[in-house]
Every structure is written in structure tokens, then in C-alpha cells.
A and B are shown apart, each in its own frame.
Chain A
């Protein structure tokens, strides 16, 4: 069975600082990997996804993520955080095109001015 772990429940950074949110997955092969962001009381917005190919993927809002097969990781990064990035971030994995998403526990990002 597939699983996703986001080790950090809550991260606080200062505006303008760099950000890295960790995500580790467990799956027998290379899964499809996603990062979603959720603002309070809202649905989930897709930030980026990895299916195959270049292991560094670019997403919206200046985010990027790197797939590292050897570490079973798909960490999300942003060079300079903006106050509007404060939200909850979910890493998710699915094994096949027709499978069900498995979500991590989520990481809440707080941005200090």
C-alpha cells in the first residue's frame, strides 16, 4: 500500500526567507506525485505534479519540487516566501492513472512579516 509522510506539522518562516517542505512516500515503483495548497476554508489548489522525466518540476506561484528516487522524497521549495503563501500544504501520491490519491498529514506554513 502507498503512504505519504510529511514530517513537519507546522513550519514558520519569515517573509523573504527560503522554504522547503518535506515529503516522503512509500510505494513499490515510481508513483505520480503531487503538491496541493489549501487556504483556510477553501478547497485544494494544485501547485505542481511529477509523472516522469525531469526530476525538478516547476509549479505555480514560484514553487518547485524535486523528485529523488533514492530518498523516496518529493520536497517542495520556494526561494523567497511571501505572506500570501501562508496556508496548509499537502503532498499526495497515486500509484496509477486510475488510482486513489493518498495524502500526507499536511504542513501548516506560517509566514512572519
Chain B
């Protein structure tokens, strides 16, 4: 149980294009989903928290107009990197938390984004 998937697992795009990453909780309802960014050899950096049906809460320094987050259902959240640039290249990981699981977050496998 508590499986989280991400799609795509990796994506290469040209600078200036937009990329959408999906995060799904497969066997539980995720009232809250989180989006993280991880640079090589570093820990995870929280980008934003999203609650189903509400606007996402972004961490300080994260551009909300660049990283659009939608959490339209209890099993799906999407992160759209708009007008991507090479500096947006990174490993993006989502996690999901249900009311039943309390504080526990379950993580997806991550999405590697490379912007050329």
C-alpha cells in the first residue's frame, strides 16, 4: 500500500517550452501533496505544499508563476514548469500524505528534467 507514481520519469525539452509532471497516489486518497526539488548530491528542497481543492502554498524563493501546481483531485497533483530554462533542470520528486497516515509522507520515484 501507499504507492505514489510520477509521470514522466524523465523528460528532455527545449528552453522556453512548458513541461507538466503528474503525481498520483495509487491506493490512497492524498489530502496533501508536496513537491520537492533535488540537486545532485544534495538533500530535498520543498517547493510547495498543495491541499486538494485549494491553492498551493509555495516556499520562500519559489516562483509560483513559474512552477504551477494543481491538486484537482484526491489522487492527482500536477507540477507545470512554465517557460523552462536550463537552470530548471533538476530532479523533481512529489510526495503524498493522507489523513489516515497522519504525518507520514510517501514519495514518488521522481522525474528527471533536462532543459536544453
Contacts and interface: CB of A to CB of B under 8 A. Distances in A.
Q: Chain B: interface residue count, which band?
A: 20 to 34
Give 10 closest A-B pairs by Cβ, nearest first. A44-B107, A32-B103, A43-B109, A43-B107, A97-B102, A43-B110, A97-B103, A103-B43, A94-B103, A43-B108
Nearest to B43: A103
Judged by DSSP, the binding face of B is strand
Nearest to A101: B105
29 contacts: A32-B104, A34-B104, A41-B110, A41-B112, A42-B109, A43-B4, A43-B107, A43-B109, A44-B44, A44-B93, A44-B95, A44-B107, A46-B2, A46-B106, A46-B107, A49-B104, A51-B103, A94-B103, A96-B103, A98-B32, A100-B34, A100-B46, A101-B95, A101-B105, A103-B43, A104-B43, A105-B43, A106-B42, A106-B43
Interface string A19-62: 00000000000001010100001111110010100000000000
B83 to A, nearest CB: 26
A97 B102 CA distance: 5
Interface string B24-44: 000000001010000000111
Q: Chain A: interface residue count, which band?
A: 20 to 34
A90 interface: yes
A104 B110 CA distance: 19
